[in-house]
């Protein structure tokens, strides 16, 4: 797979559509046979009368039942295992903050597959052997850190396992070792901006950064532009989830026109979250994924809760693998206000288009006199607070007007000073729901 010290898997990335679908069908059949060895799928297939021999094409996957997060919780810890425990070499566990934790197990072959996929992603984005890669995300039970780490080493980059937090040291490491490729979550990339300014660091002048692999939380195109403009780099969207190994499920090519999902490893569907029927390419729905190349615990028709669409047409890069649009949020992140469905990323899209707005905001939902209200607290740039009150009122009115135009409800907008809202070096908390139901 590795040729002339360059990571380019021609047999997978330049495969024809017909050959890819034939490969998918072969791998799907093997996956179903293998999955039938697990306690969960053996029982599930029996209860629902599933005959895996009836799968004659990849479209027949619709005959199979969905798998949900609750299924993984109910079968914790070993109900999805398809191999003896002695063959397992790694596990990752979700935090369990919203319920019973879920466990994902890996054989050595699973880890090799995962590292290959991450190396493929980063090579596609322009990373090369000899580059210096700095991983600014958490290690441990979180899949993002170790996934990118082993992918970067597989590709042949000097890999700095910096982990999350300790911001000034992160910046110093970038400077000392001429880091040119980073993996970072978008909210942390924004958080580092004022810290660099305080340290007198101009990333365009003082650092060698070239590529940022960014994911793990929904973010808007406007945030991508802010990160690219400040750091002088190209930001590539990354998508993954622990149930499918972790990061490396889908990634952007240099055209930045959607994330190629590696269809030799995952079978992709987009369904209507209410009717559960497939939606046409180009229409938004819930992403459903099936592993095609996993030994330890294959997962079939997993309802990710992530909302996206398959971008119609072919990519200019020539890869045949379908493209996913950026995640619009999760179906369980959506909130309803005065009968309107709203996603936090819609608020972000509006705010990040207003130059006076800073990089941090929070949405607070509160019930007053039995009426639901939305408060949007927004940090604004330093210079705004030295302007007169009329300038602040002008910005406040503009934000309110633009949000109403996007959301169809009128929020209460509060302008606050820079660095006054809570910050986290992990995933940002953008929504606080104080309503009592």
Per residue in 46-73, pLDDT (tens digit) is: 999 999 999 999 999 999 999 999 999 9
State yes or no: pLDDT of 2 exceeds 50: no
The CATH code of the domain that includes 212 is 3.40.50.12780
Q: Which long-range contacts (CB under 8 A, 24 or more apart) does 363-367 make?
A: 363/430, 363/431, 363/432, 364/432, 364/434, 365/335, 365/337, 365/431, 365/432, 365/433, 365/434, 365/435, 366/434, 366/435, 367/434, 367/435, 367/436
Q: Which domain holds residue 220?
A: 1-331
Same domain, 190 and 320: yes
Same domain, 222 and 190: yes
Nearest to 36 by CA among 20, 23, 53: 53
Percent of the chain whose pLDDT exceeds 70: 95
∠ CA 15-17-20 to the nearest 5 degrees? 65
| SS3 (DSSP) at 375 | strand
Cross-strand partners of 270: 287
Same domain, 308 and 390: no
Same domain, 236 and 363: no
Same domain, 135 and 237: yes
Domain count within the chain: 2
Same domain, 293 and 397: no
- Please say which residue of 331, 354, 374 terminates a domain: 331
Same domain, 277 and 400: no
Same domain, 327 and 378: no
State yes or no: pLDDT of 329 exceeds 90: no
- Please say which residue of 299, 331, 363 terminates a domain: 331
Q: What is the mean pLDDT of residues 191-213?
A: 96
- Please say which residue of 311, 331, 351 terminates a domain: 331
Same domain, 288 and 387: no
Same domain, 302 and 382: no
Same domain, 230 and 311: yes
Residues 285 and 269: their CA atoms lie apart, in Å, by: 9
Same domain, 316 and 237: yes
The CATH code of the domain that includes 422 is 3.30.300.30
Choose between 368 and 64: higher pLDDT.
64
Cross-strand partners of 330: 306
Return the number of other C-beta atoms located less than 10 Å from residue 166's C-beta. 13
């Amino acid at each position: 797979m590795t040729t002339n010290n360059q990571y380019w898997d021609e047999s997978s990335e330049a495969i024809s559509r017909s050959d890819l679908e034939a490969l998918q069908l072969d791998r799907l059949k093997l996956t179903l046979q293998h999955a039938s060895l697990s306690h969960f799928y053996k029982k599930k297939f029996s209860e629902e009368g599933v005959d895996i021999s009836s799968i004659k094409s990849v479209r027949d996957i619709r005959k199979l039942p969905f798998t949900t997060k609750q299924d993984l919780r109910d079968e914790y810890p070993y109900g999805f295992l398809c191999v003896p425990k002695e063959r397992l070499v790694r596990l990752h566990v979700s935090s369990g903050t919203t319920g019973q934790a879920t466990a994902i197990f890996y054989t050595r072959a699973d880890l090799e597959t995962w590292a290959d996929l991450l190396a493929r992603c980063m090579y596609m984005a322009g990373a090369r052997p000899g580059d210096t890669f700095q991983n600014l995300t958490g290690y441990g039970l979180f899949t993002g850190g170790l996934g990118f780490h082993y992918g970067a080493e597989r590709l042949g980059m000097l890999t700095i396992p910096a982990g999350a937090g300790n911001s000034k040291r992160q910046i110093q490491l970038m400077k000392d070792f001429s880091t040119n490729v980073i993996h970072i979550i978008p909210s942390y990339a924004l958080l580092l901006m004022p810290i660099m300014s305080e340290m007198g660091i101009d990333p365009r002048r003082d650092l060698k950064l070239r590529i940022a692999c960014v994911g793990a939380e929904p973010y808007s195109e406007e945030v991508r532009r802010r990160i690219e403009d400040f750091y002088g780099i190209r930001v590539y969207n990354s998508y993954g989830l622990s149930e499918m190994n972790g990061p490396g499920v889908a990634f952007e090519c240099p055209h930045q026109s959607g994330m190629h999902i590696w269809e030799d490893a995952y079978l992709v569907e987009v369904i209507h979250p209410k009717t559960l029927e497939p939606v046409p390419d180009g229409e938004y729905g819930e992403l459903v994924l099936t592993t095609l190349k996993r030994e330890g615990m294959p997962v079939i028709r997993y309802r990710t809760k992530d909302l996206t669409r398959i971008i119609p047409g072919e990519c200019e890069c020539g890869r045949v693998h379908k493209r996913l649009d950026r995640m619009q949020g999760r179906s369980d992140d959506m909130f309803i206000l005065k009968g309107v469905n709203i996603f936090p990323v819609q608020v972000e899209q509006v705010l990040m288009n207003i130059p006076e707005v800073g990089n941090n905001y929070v949405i607070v939902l509160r019930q007053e006199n039995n009426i639901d209200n939305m408060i949007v607290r927004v940090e604004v740039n330093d210079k705004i607070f030295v302007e007169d009150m009329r300038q602040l009122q002008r910005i406040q009115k503009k934000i309110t007007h633009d949000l109403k135009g996007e959301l169809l409800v009128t929020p209460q907008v509060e302008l606050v000073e820079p660095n006054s809202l809570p910050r986290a070096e992990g995933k940002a908390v953008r929504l606080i729901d104080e309503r009592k139901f």
